[in-house]
Amino acid sequence: MTQITLQSVHKTYGGAVPVIRNVDLDIGAGEFCVFLGPSGCGKSTLLRMVAGLEAISAGDLHIGGVRMNDVPPAHREVAMVFQNYALYPHMSLFENMAFGLRQARVDPKEIERRVQDAAKILQITHLLDRLPKALSGGQRQRVAIGRAIVRQPSVFLFDEPLSNLDAALRVHMRTEIARLHREFNRASAIYVTHDQTEAMALADKIVLLRAGQGMLEHGSVAQIGSPMDLYHRPRDLFVAGFLGSPRMNFLPATVQSAERGEITLQIDGNSGGERLRLAAGIVAPAAGSRVTLGIRPEHLAAGPSDGSAAITRRVRQVEHFGEYSYVYLDGTEGEEDLIAKVIGHSPARPGDNESFSIPSGDCHVFDAAGFALPRVQA
């Protein structure tokens, strides 16, 4: 059953340039949905529209089958965890967690039970009498989550809850959030982050949002899907370049020929780029069409291939991390520098010419407009 539905949702401030355009989205009961995107793409704004803290300029929001556009935040059965915790500084932790329930006139014994249960789950029972200023960042974040849990909402809303924490604590709290969501698995969750690692780790579904000109031309939503869907089957150059670190390598090229499931590309280059024949299984455009070949750093295989798809570039720099190495390659004219991720220690040295093969199955080909060419149906 769909828990949250957004239909053609728009947001404009003062009738000027839109912030959110044309968002259509379904989030199922119990689903953990992550809003991901660059700064300014409107992911927090979209979350706040679901919460009722921002008005929806156009379109509809349904939660549990009920239209919520004009419903006050307290009546939407949502609970929010803010980026900077938003704990009431003059109230004890117990009072912070109980405040919403007192406003809702819940029975005091029930309030006590819910707060104690949530405190036990979050391991903060011993802190309930303290004020927020006496706690660390991680403890405050737990209390903020506890305040959401006691409301027993249908939807949890997280607005970059881990961005104020240090790296180690962020990893720990990420697993805590995942664990808590499993415990409250009938509630949906919407989680806003700009960190793709968090998104990939936590999400059942990622909604990748665009900003700027791309948003104005194509709408706010770049792609919706599972993390692996977006990673392995990006819909366009923006999605392909946003997910993955280091980002995908892009090589501008021209289609030479396409026949029998094979496509031959002439890579751009001043002194003549490579001609690559790929059995990519994609629906290729006509010969002479401009395309972009995308290949992730971890898919560039060191050493010449026994096939016909390989590139040779001069090594600019090598970084060794023990488990793997990054080899930075000079791009040709019109081409960005390339990065190859090599397992273990790479023997390449700056100044060397190194060859990397391009496995057909791991290629992505994008048309002149930047959209991924569809794969041939088996």
Partner 1 sequence: MSSIAKQQPKPLTRSVIWTLALGWLAVTLLPLAFVLFTSLKSQQDTFDSPVWALPTHIDWSHYASVLQSGFFTYLRNSLFVVGLSVLLIVIVSAMAAYALARLKFRFNKPLFALIVAGMIVPLHITLVPIYLMTKAIGLYDTPFALIGPYVATSLPVSIFILAEFMRQIPRELEEAAELDGCGPFTIFRRIFLPLSGPGVATVAIYNAIGLWNEFIFAYVLTSSPGNRTLPLALWDFQGEYSSNIPAMLAVVTLTSLPLIVAYAFGQERIVKGMMAGSLKG
Closer CB to partner 1, 131 or 171, in the complex: 131
Distance of alpha carbon 336 from alpha carbon 36, whole angstroms: 25
Helix (H, G, I), strand (E, B) or coil at 263: strand
Closer CB to partner 1, 58 or 86, in the complex: 86
Measure Cα distances from 168 to 63, 172, 202 in Å: 35, 7, 16
Q: How far is the CB of 102 from partner 1 (least distance, A)?
A: 9
Sheet harboring 249-259: ordered strands across?
275-278, 262-267, 249-259, 290-295, 364-366
Binding site for partner 1 (CB under 8 A): 51-53, 72-74, 78-80, 82-84, 86-90, 99-100, 103-104, 147
Closer CB to partner 1, 44 or 332, in the complex: 44
Q: How far is the CB of 63 from partner 1 (least distance, A)?
A: 14
Q: How far is the CB of 170 from partner 1 (least distance, A)?
A: 20
Closer CB to partner 1, 144 or 373, in the complex: 144
Distance of alpha carbon 64 from alpha carbon 72, whole angstroms: 15
Q: How far is the CB of 135 from partner 1 (least distance, A)?
A: 16
Q: How far is the CB of 173 from partner 1 (least distance, A)?
A: 19
Closer CB to partner 1, 103 or 377, in the complex: 103
Could you give phi then psi for residue 182, rounded to 5 degrees? -65, -35
First to last CA, the chain: 31
Measure Cα distances from 323 to 244, 303, 318, 319, 346 in Å: 18, 19, 14, 11, 10
Q: How far is the CB of 58 from partner 1 (least distance, A)?
A: 20
H-helix or E-strand spanning residue 319? strand 310-320
Closer CB to partner 1, 83 or 289, in the complex: 83
Q: Are 326 and 296 contacting, i.e. CB atoms less than 8 angstroms apart?
A: no
